[in-house]
Structure 1
Amino acid sequence: MATINYLVRLSAPLILALGLAWLVPVQAATSEAPSGLGNATCLSCHDGKKGKIEVPGGDDTRALYTVGHDKYGKSVHGRMQCVDCHREITDAKASHKKAAGVAGPNCVACHQGLWEALQQEGKTQGKERMGLVVKNVEAYKKSFHARPDKDDPSRPKAVCDQCHNTHEFAVPPRGSVERTEWHATVPQVCGETCHEDALDEYSGSAHGKALQEKQDKKVAVCIDCHTAHNIVNTSGEPFKAAVTKNCGGCHEEKFASYKDTYHGQVNTLGYGYTAKCYNCHGSHEILKADDPGSKVHPDNLLRTCKQCHNGKKDLPEATAGFASFGAHATTHDFKHYPQLWIASKFMVALLIGVFAFFWLHSGLWYYREAKDRKAGKAAPHIRTEGLALDEKKHFRRFHWGWRLGHLSFALVTMTLVLTGTAALYAESSWAPVVAGMFGSPHAMGLTHRVAAALFVGIFLIHFVYVMQKLLRDKTFRWFGPDSLIPRWKDLSDCVGMFKWFVGKGPRPQFDRWAYFEKFDYWAVFWGVNIIGWSGLMMAFPHVTASYLPGWVFNVIMLVHGEEAFLAAVFLFTVHFFNNHFRPDKLPPPDVVMFTGTQSLEEFRRDHPAQYQRLVESGELEKHLVDAPSLVMTLGSKILGLTLITIGLGLLVLVAIGFMGH
């Protein structure tokens, strides 16, 4: 309570200046001063022309402020009478007699009272700055400065008039020369009053030299990093999460490149445990990168990295390659980052090529099937005369191992997309929510790596299983109709499909694996290697940096993110369309990958060449099984719809992140 009372008596600073001069007439300036206590009388003693006025203060005496006529008249309080604030003063004699029970200057109560009166009278329009004053007062009360001082707990650490001279201060308009001049005085005010050591460091820094030697009055000063009123403890998470954004207010391009790094992604998500600007560049003592004393000078950079990457906790010690990592590398600067520039152009071409081809493919396919359905055209007829087939039977297309592998892949992939894109698009509105669901970006990253390990593990099990089975099968033909290896027929089928799309030819007769199914299959091999190896290199940076230069991290992080984006968008658009949203598959879902079977009608339509081949060889009946039970079918549909819904939801999140990136 003592702290608040002291604050109430002394807080008149910048926050009071924001608009008080023209609001005071509401209650104060219109009042007349008691007889003999006008401003002229008060200032005749307090203008300093008769010498300093000292009063008892603590164990000694303290000098009162000198109030000049001109400066006070131009200040934000210049239209007020002295006794509007000093209401306890009752006479004009030295050691003024004070009225009993009357409080001294109470700037906070005055401003809050003015704003409340304006609100009650409905006169706040056009006077919003007065509301800002009240907000600043509340922010100060919660700030680090408002805490009790260690040496004198009855006083706060800092009060308003330590930063602003209550009797002389006036807020210069934003953008004015006067505002710039005032801005340049802030380091001296903060440093000379309390923070002498910080001022010494700042004076020797790049910022301080620019201010003092080059007279660059727009350079960063204390309040640009620490703010003016809601100053918080610099060791707390709120400050750590906000300070880098404050730096980015000036260094916009550097800030943008920083946010593309893992350090920046975590910081953007609202957590302060990764490296921020001041961890690498210093805080008050920031020097240019080419200065031998700079923390980011090439000779000092590895030592700077080792401040965090010191071998303790879960951060292995930084190795040689860390020093050449481009913390602010960009994809548009070939001169300084040629490797990243080349990698970005390759990935952009890959994304455009894949999406242009397959989105066109899907669009034309939808158009053709919808047009044929509207015209009443049926799918090509397969002759079944003379065959003793039970049409209620189903064709077994996938064994349980394939189905289990597909489901596992689906769940793991969706987990990877969620946790990976939450970091990739950390600036999006949904990413911090996802990080919070996991507890922190660290826990989210751990989940991502576990899911990645499961993905690779499932892939290897599948690969070993398939290879050992095929190698033992003496009749299997590697380029035969049952093989997933691409062959010339796939190319001709693809060309034939485009001809069919535009009405220039019949629909191709697909065998066991259509060309787009083979693409889906082999894309996993590509993705596991590109995404997997790049992810592994980032998961163990100290090992990678022991053998490779630091720019490799810039490249693999780009490739990892872009390839993951490609995989996610392809899966949830093209793959979903091919298997669930084609007109002849509607309504979704297609449950063949969950039940493992297809009706004969669907099998004949999707894979007519395989069907005909099995009929001619007499092997069709070996693949026929009973239709799945109603429970199995219903469960598969529920599972399929659930996965489709999750996938489309993830697609929306990725789209939001991509558009806002």
Structure 2
Amino acid sequence: MKIRNIRGLLAAVASAALLWPLSGHAAGGNAPAALDNATCLNCHAAGKPEIKVEDAEGEDAEGEEVALPAIDPAKVAKGVHAKIDCVACHTDIVDAKEKHEKAPNAVKPDCAACHEKLWDEAKKNNQAAGKERLGIVVENIAAYKESFHARPDADNPDRPKAYCNQCHATHDFAVPVAGTPEREKWRMTIPETCGAACHEDQLDDFTSSVHGKLIEKGDTKGAVCIDCHTTHEIRNSSSEAFKLKNVLACGDCHTEELHSYRDTYHGQVNRLGFVYTAKCADCHGSHGIKAGDDPKSRVHPDNRLKTCQKCHDDKKPGMVKATAGFVTFGPHANTHDFEKYPKMWIAGKFMTALLIGVFAFFWLHSGLWYYREWQERKERKTVPHVRTGELGVNEGKHFVRFAWGWRVAHLCFALVTMTLVLTGTTVMFADSSWAPKIAALLGGPKVMGIIHRVAASLFVGIFMIHFVYVMSRLLRNRKFRWFGPDSLIPNWKDLADCWGMFKWFFGKGPKPNFDRWTYFEKFDYWAVFWGVNIIGWSGLMLAFPHVTASLLPGWVFNVGTLVHGEEAFLAAVFLFTVHFFNNHFRPDKLPPPDVVMFTGTQSLEEFSREHPAHYQRLVESGELEKYLVDAPSRQMHVGSVILGLTLITVGLVLLVLVVTGFFS
């Protein structure tokens, strides 16, 4: 009843019924009085007898009377409308009689139309520069027209859900200047403005919340309605636009929590523009937010599992019921607070050291290598041509370096890895400008998740097939030396070769004579083993959270997400910088690509130059000819070049995306 009465009152105000004077108060009896402000205030000023009018609007309002608001001249004098005559807005009032006769063609008072007209006139007369606040009002009007409040009221479709004057006191309207104590004092009255008229239930919840208690104490840190819902562009709270913006609204005050939330999968999906993962209000509530140590709080340890199970529930498509470990998951865990999150702090320091160490060493290695080869090119230093004819070998022959199985596995690895990088870093760097576009192009995070998991399964499957095949062959070969020159296991020669390369970089010694596998090729090979275990196991735990949380504490999700993402970042950047340089962009390799991994063969000159120790062993043992084949056909070579350039281009594009995502 209270809300209906107030709405009826405001409807009466909007229909220009404010200025109906009482009988006998109009000067001159039945003669019309001057319609100036003083005449209006004779009846409508504060302290005058209450004026009631019949509420003619609303289905249940017939015959019911509502009181018109009294006008306080002192407040009006301080308001922005102080110099405006009453009849300037109430143009349909033409007399000072008790029952006003209305002008037949006059429009009802309309705040929006009036301000828009004034702004149009200001722009037309080149006076807009001095009336910026009027321009802001017009912007607010445009926002209001698109808002939830401007929609037709369910009970009375002929009127909107809220008029301007339901929030603004039109007669004594005066919002203080931003940044002043008066503005903060006015701001803290907003919950009562919103709640008393329309949102009583929400006001009750808000009053008992942490925000409401701060406002009650006069603490301006407490959030009020407009901080979360905005002022004029208020959206339906169930809309995706509102839910996305509401997270940012919370983050305006809770900056640290926003950053840590965005590092979780929940926040990453939200950053991509999707709202199906948990948001602030899903965990903390909305109007009735309680402190974390309050037993009634949704995030209190006693209530946390139940809160998680609101989303993680078997009854929801694609979801599984949350298990005990979810309780200790840290939705706001970070890597810089050792006291609260020691595991994250340790993991963060380890991953930072790993990234810096790997990149510092190999980027320095690549830079020095590039410089040295470039200098030798300028000095026209070349490796003597191998005269294979003297060995009884046809100079047109190629050396078989990789069997077809290695080449197929490499190509599959390349395609799968690039797919993993694209789908994974799109989520990881969701803040970047390109990530939401890629996510939308691929069908959203859910589809990307499926693609990512399928690609990961293929990656692990190829790895396991390769591992089983290689081990079965080696275990059957009684003559194979595990630390010999044909083995990919690192040995002392690799350490000596690495040291020799740095001496060569600085002109302090000759370039090492590499055998079948160089130390940097072995690093590439064993990095896959490291990646499969670190990225694979952490990804598996994140893919099946209910299983993980039933066996392990929830903080493993935080550490797993960190390690999974940063190790993948390390792998991607290493592949598209160091690996590409070693195999395609060294001066001796230019122009790219090197197609040995696609054709499986390379010329004897290139083989002897890059692996002289291996070449010499084969010559001395007389086994060289066993590995010689005809050079690849032109079609095979051209196809390999096209394939190589395509993969390099895709890799470099991914590198740009990853780097821009990192710095975003």
Normalised-by-shorter TM-score class: over 0.9
Q: Is the 8 A contact 2:531 2:567 kept in 1?
A: yes
CA distance in 1: counterparts of 2:661 and 2:33, whole angstroms: 68
2:565 aligned partner, one-letter code: G
**For residue 404 of structure 1, what is the aligned residue in structure 2?**
408
Gaps of 5+ in 2: 1-9, 17-31, 57-61
Which of residues 36, 39, 56 is equivalent to 2:37?
Answer: 39
Q: 1:432-581 alignment to 2 at 5 Å?
A: 432-581=436-585
For the residue of structure 2 that corresponds to 1:55, the secondary structure is strand
Deviation of 1:44 after TM superposition, in Å, equals 2.1
Task: Show the counterpart of 2:19.
Answer: none
Deviation, 1:81, is 1.5
Using the TM superposition, give the Cα deviation of residue 250 of structure 1 relative to its aligned residue in structure 2, in angstroms. Answer: 0.6
2:13–2:68 CA contact under 8 A, matched in 1? no
Query: Does 2:213 align with 1:209?
Result: yes
Pair 401,121 (structure 1): closer, same or farther in 2 beyond 3 Å: farther
Q: Distance in 2 between matches of 1:56 and 1:538?
A: 64
Cα displacement (A) at 1:61: 2.4
> Match of 2:391, SS?
coil
Question: Is residue 2:271 matched to residue 1:268?
Answer: yes
Indicate whether 1:257 and 2:260 are aligned.
yes
Q: Distance in 2 between matches of 1:35 and 1:513?
A: 107
Deviations 1:153-212 (A, max 9, x none): 112111111111111111211111111011101111111111111111111111111111
The aligned counterpart of 1:97 is 101
Q: Cα 1:605–1:429, aligned 2, differ >3 Å: closer, same or farther?
A: same
* 2:54 alignment partner in structure 1: 56
Runs of 4+ in 1 over 4 A off after TM superposition: 6-12, 380-385
8 Å contact 1:382–1:608 — kept in the other structure? Answer: no
Instruction: Deviation per CA, 1:421-462: give whole Å up to 9, x if none.
Output: 111111111111111112211111121111111111111111
Find the counterpart in structure 2 of residue 379 from structure 1. Answer: 383
Q: Does the aligned pair in 1 maintain the 2:399–2:604 contact within 8 Å? A: yes
> CA separation in 1, counterparts of 2:11 and 2:609?
82
- Does residue 284 of the first structure (1) align with residue 282 of the second (2)? no
Matched residues in 2 for 1:78 and 1:479: separation? Answer: 94
- Is residue 111–residue 164 contact of structure 2 (8 Å, CA) maintained in 1? no
Q: Letter of the 2:51 partner, please give it.
A: I
Looking at structure 2, the residues matched to 211 and 107 of structure 1 have their Cα atoms a distance apart, in angstroms, of: 30
Name 1:642's counterpart in structure 2. 646
Query: Among 307, 315, 320, which residue is 1:316 paired with?
Result: 320
How far off its partner does 1:628 sit? 1.3
Q: Which of the numbers 111, 129, 133 marks the counterpart of 2:137?
A: 133
Deviation at residue 38 of structure 1 after TM alignment: 1.7
Would the aligned equivalents of 2:420 and 2:455 in 1 still touch at CA under 8 Å? yes
Question: How many Å apart are 1:121 and its aligned residue?
Answer: 4.0
- Give the CA deviation at 1:93: 2.2
**Displacement after TM superposition at 1:123 (Å):** 3.9
Separation in 2, partners of 1:419, 1:130:
47
In the aligned structure 2, how far is the partner of 1:617 from the partner of 1:560? Answer: 47
Structure 1, unmatched stretches of 5+, are: 1-5, 13-33
Letter in 1 for 2:380: G
Report deviation, 1:104.
Answer: 1.9
Q: 1:7 to 1:422 in 2, by over 3 A?
A: farther
* Amino acid across the alignment from 1:439: G
8 A Cα contact 1:205 1:286, kept in partner: yes
Deviations 1:108-152 (A, max 9, x none): 122222223333444433544333322221221121111211211
Q: Secondary structure at the match of 2:267?
A: helix
- Partner of 1:227 in structure 2? 230
Cα distance in 1 for residues equivalent to 2:103 and 2:212: 48
Aligned to 1:349: 353
Residue 11 of structure 1 and its aligned partner are, at CA, apart by: 11
SS in 1 for 2:405: helix
Match of 2:297 among 294, 298, 304: 294
Letter in 2 for 1:290: D
Equivalent residue for 1:358? 362
Q: Distance in 1 between matches of 2:291 and 2:192?
A: 22
Q: CA deviation at 1:393?
A: 1.5
| Counterpart contact for 2:214–2:221, Cα < 8 Å | no
What secondary structure sits across from 1:289 in the alignment? coil
Task: Determine what percentage of the aligned residue pairs are the same residue.
Answer: 66
Aligned equivalents of 2:657, 2:123: Cα separation in 1: 41
Amino acid corresponding to residue 351 of structure 2 in structure 1: M
Measured in 2, the distance between the counterparts of 1:585 and 1:423 equals: 35
What TM-score does the superposition give when structure 2 sets the normalisation length?
Answer: 0.92
Q: Matched residues in 2 for 1:458 and 1:125: separation?
A: 68
**Alpha-carbon distance in structure 1 between the residues aligned to 2:180 and 2:100:** 41
Q: Report the Cα offset of residue 294 of structure 1.
A: 0.9
Cα drift, residue 543 of structure 1? 0.7
Amino acid at match of 1:55: V
- Distance of 2:337 and 2:144 partners within structure 1: 43
Q: 1:117 to 1:634 in 2, by over 3 A?
A: farther
- Helix, strand or coil at the partner of 1:94: coil
Partners of 2:15 and 2:433 in 1: CA distance: 38
- Paired with 2:544 and 2:438, the residues of 1 have a C-alpha distance of 24
- Find the counterpart in structure 2 of residue 633 from structure 1: 637
Is the CA contact 1:108–1:137 (under 8 Å) kept in the aligned structure 2? Answer: yes
CA–CA distance in structure 1, aligned partners of residues 126 and 598 of structure 2: 65
Letter in 1 for 2:238: S
Q: Which amino acid aligns with 2:302?
A: D
Instruction: Using the TM superposition, give the Cα deviation of residue 96 of structure 1 relative to its aligned residue in structure 2, in angstroms.
Output: 1.9
Partner of 1:21: none
Deviation track 1:569-610 (CA, whole Å, cap 9, x = no partner) reads 100100000001000001111111111111122111111111
C-alpha contact (below 8 Å) 2:71/2:171 kept by paired residues: yes
1:391 pairs with 357, 380, 395, which one? Answer: 395
> Residues 118 and 403 (structure 1 numbering): CA distance in 2 closer, same or farther, change over 3 Å?
farther
1:67 pairs with one of 64, 71, 75: 71
1:424 to 419, 422, 428: 428
Cα deviation per residue 1:329-355 (whole Å; 9 max; x = unaligned)?
Answer: 111111111111111111111111100
Could you tell me how far apart the structure 2 residues matched to 1:9 and 1:569 are? 66
Which among 331, 351, 360 is matched to residue 327 of structure 1? Answer: 331
- 2:649 pairs with 1:613: no
Q: Look up the SS of the partner of 2:299 in the other structure.
A: coil
The residue identity in structure 1 corresponding to 2:55 is G
Spell out the pairing of 1:60-209 with structure 2 (5 A cutoff): 60-209=64-213
Greater CA deviation, 333-342 or 574-583? 333-342
Aligned to 1:245: 248
Asked if the contact 2:388–2:395 (Cα under 8 Å) also holds between the matched residues in 1, the reply is no
Does the CA contact (< 8 Å) of 2:539 and 2:564 recur in 1?
A: yes
